[in-house]
Amino acid sequence: MIGLNHYLILSGILFTIGLIGVLRRRNLLMLFFSTEIMLNAANVAFAATSNFYHDLSGQMFAFFVVAIAASEVAIGLGLLILVYKKENTLDLDDLASMKG
Amino acid sequence: MFEQIAFYFFSVLTIGLFLVTVFSKNVLYAMSALASGMVVIAGFFFMVGADFLGVVQLIVYVGAVMALYAFGMMFFNVTKDLKEKTTSNIWILIVAVTVALLMILMFAGAINPDAIYASLPMSYKMNNPEAVGMALFTKYLVPFEVAAIMLLIAMIGGIILAGKKMDTSLTNIEDEVLQQKDAK
């Protein structure tokens, strides 16, 4: 029988994968992808908790997470396009302009 | 039985696809793997009975967000592989797992599972989309409207940010820069 713990462990694994991506990648676009993975991991945990406690609030939170992710992508991609037009690269090491 | 098979099948699929997303050198592969991972996540939502959330996941994430990324791809050069200076993998793994475990301890340690009660209990008279609609337009009406305004602001911001100098194409700019370099 699949219980709440199974879903929470899966959510933790997915979140860790996203966190590894954020720490490891140097490309801004890849950082955005990793952020999406982390948001999705949180959504899985919300939906599973909502189901196993018979409470609708978890699903409502997941809806607002989806809305926030959508607006984050809209603004973030606009900024990415501006950065790419200006610097012609999305690599964080090339974009770093301060020494240290 | 079928639930177990579905759960483990979906788990292996999502973890594998998201690992491809995180470790792939090619942006297009990463984006395709992310999109398919989102579809499988929607499968999890259907399994836990969150039907409407699953449909929203399919429409908003797979449909809108990934399409937006695909449009963004047209501005970036994605044909060549990424060359990144990556830090040592083992340390990143240790840091990521430690941070995740610490967050779980922080949040799960403070919660007493016996004291949790449903603040918005599911009614067995209504199906899931109906119950979501009832909750969204009564208890969560103000956050819903605020989210609507936030999405409107994000849309305007996205148009203004990405729409600047749309009349000059990136490839033309690169050609001019190349020609200037050749002239020098």
pTM: 0.85
| Residues A1-51 pLDDT 10s | 788 888 988 998 999 999 988 888 888 888 999 999 999 999 999 999 898
What string of pLDDT tens digits covers the 184 residues of chain B?
888 999 999 999 999 999 999 988 888 899 999 999 999 999 999 999 889 999 999 999 888 888 888 888 877 777 777 777 766 778 888 888 888 888 878 877 777 777 777 777 777 778 888 888 888 899 899 999 999 999 999 999 888 887 766 666 555 556 566 566 566 5
Predicted confidence at residue B168, as pLDDT, reads: 60
What span, in angstroms and rounded, lies between the C-alpha atoms of B113 and B104? 14
| Distance in angstroms (rounded) separating the CA atoms of residues B110 and B164 | 48
- Residue A43 to residue B57, Cβ atoms within 8 A: yes
The predicted pLDDT at position B21 comes to 92
pLDDT > 70? residue A79: yes
Instruction: Provide the residue type at B48 as one letter.
Output: V
ipTM of this complex: 0.91
Are A66 and B52 within 8 A, CB to CB? no
The pLDDT of residue B163 is 75
The secondary structure of residue B18, as a DSSP letter, is H
**Chain A: closest CA distance from residue B65 (Å):** 6
B-chain residues near A37 (CB < 8 A): 18, 21-22, 34, 37
CB contact under 8 A, B3 and A2: yes
Q: Can you tell me whether residue A91 is helix, strand or coil?
A: strand
Interface of B with A in 38-57 (CB under 8 A): 38, 41, 44-45, 48-50, 52-53, 56-57
Q: pLDDT tens digits, residue range A44-66?
A: 999 998 988 888 888 999 999 99
Which residue of chain A comes nearest to B114, CA vs CA?
A: A53
Q: What is the DSSP string of B30-78?
A: HHHHHHHHHHHHHHHHHHTT-HHHHHHIIIIIIIIIHHHHHHHHTTS--
From the number of C-beta atoms within 10 Å of its C-beta (0-12, 13-18, 19+), residue A77 rates as buried
Tell which of B9, B14, B18 to mutate to test the A interface (max A CBs under 10 Å).
B18
